[in-house]
């Protein structure tokens, strides 16, 4: 049995999908996390709505540490995250899915580690490749069986938010090699790595980024584009949960903190 967590924005927690799931509030050292827990395709599955049930939490105030701690405490081994993004790369258009392979972190005020106390000590986690290669392969294989237009690679630029980016910032991110811009994949991905979880992210392009888009950016535009793609994302999530084929890629996610005694709850 696989133990899987699905983290996403508003829309992933479809009531039809979550029939028979138990809603639980998990207490953590960093606060409370709301999880929907159940069984699908013979696997334990946890759904976590990143922004809360009514999308009331802005990206810079999401309690990333509580979410990851709760997921880890429930025995999770695999984390599949979904994100809505703007596109910097003209080849990645609205409605396309991108299985990200690296990240640029431009967040400013978020706590990005579990290792910030005398009790836990200091640790330096390898983050050369932020996303688990084995999970990335599973997602790609699932997408290959669909008619969804997708890209096997993409560099996610994470900004602080909640404002959208300036045209000059987008130009800079493009020069640095960024393909996509969003506000939620950091510190979520590094916390998952510190917690020795396999973690991958699949982004949905909702719009072209500032200075590339012919119109001013708006939250309603993002929501409308997300609504058009949510059925495809739900199909992908269900396929990922049911996936039972072997993969060639190997990872060291579950032992990446062994130099520091391993991650302990």
* Confidence tier at 167 by pLDDT (50, 70, 90): very high
Per the structure block, which two tokens stand in for 195? Answer: 């917690």
Report d(CA 4, CA 142) in Å as an integer.
16
Rounded to 5 degrees, φ, ψ at 187 are -90, 15
* Confidence tier at 12 by pLDDT (50, 70, 90): low
Report d(CA 1, CA 75) in Å as an integer.
11
Query: What is the model's pLDDT at position 159?
Result: 98
Task: Provide the residue ranges of all domains of the chain, joining segments of one domain with +.
Answer: 3-260
Residue among 50, 48, 52 nearest 6 (CA): 48
Query: What is the model's pLDDT at position 107?
Result: 97
- Topology given in CATH for the domain delimited by 3-260: Rossmann fold (3.40.50)
Q: What is the mean pLDDT of the chain?
A: 91
Query: What is the model's pLDDT at position 37?
Result: 95
Query: What is the model's pLDDT at position 17?
Result: 66
pLDDT single digits (tens) 251-264: 999 999 999 999 99
Report d(CA 256, CA 91) in Å as an integer.
34
Query: What is the model's pLDDT at position 218?
Result: 67
Query: What is the model's pLDDT at position 8?
Result: 87
Query: What is the model's pLDDT at position 15?
Result: 56
- Look up the pTM and report it: 0.93
Report d(CA 158, CA 101) in Å as an integer.
13
């Amino acid at each position: 049995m696989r133990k899987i967590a699905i983290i996403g924005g508003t829309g992933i927690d479809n009531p039809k999908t979550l029939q028979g799931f138990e809603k639980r509030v998990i207490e953590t050292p960093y606060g409370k996390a709301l999880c929907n827990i159940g069984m699908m395709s013979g696997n334990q599955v946890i759904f976590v709505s990143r922004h809360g049930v009514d999308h009331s939490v802005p990206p810079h105030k999401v309690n990333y540490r509580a979410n990851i701690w709760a997921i880890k405490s429930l025995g999770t081994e695999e984390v599949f995250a979904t994100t809505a993004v703007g596109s910097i790369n003209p080849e990645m258009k609205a409605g396309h899915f991108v299985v990200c392979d690296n990240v640029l972190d431009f967040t400013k005020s978020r706590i990005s580690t579990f290792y910030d106390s005398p009790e836990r000590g200091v640790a330096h986690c390898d983050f050369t490749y932020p996303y688990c290669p084995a999970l990335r392969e599973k997602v790609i294989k699932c997408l290959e069986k669909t008619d969804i237009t997708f890209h096997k690679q993409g560099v996610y630029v994470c900004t602080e938010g909640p404002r959208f980016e300036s045209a000059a910032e987008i130009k800079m991110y493009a020069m640095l090699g960024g393909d996509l811009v969003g506000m939620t994949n950091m510190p979520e991905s590094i916390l998952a790595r510190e917690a020795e979880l396999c973690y991958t992210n699949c982004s949905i392009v909702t719009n072209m980024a500032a200075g590339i888009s012919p119109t001013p950016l708006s939250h309603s535009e993002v929501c409308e584009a997300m609504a058009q793609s949510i059925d495809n994302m739900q199909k992908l999530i269900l396929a990922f949960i049911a996936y039972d084929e072997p993969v060639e890629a190997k990872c060291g996610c579950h032992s990446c903190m062994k130099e520091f005694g391993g991650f302990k709850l």
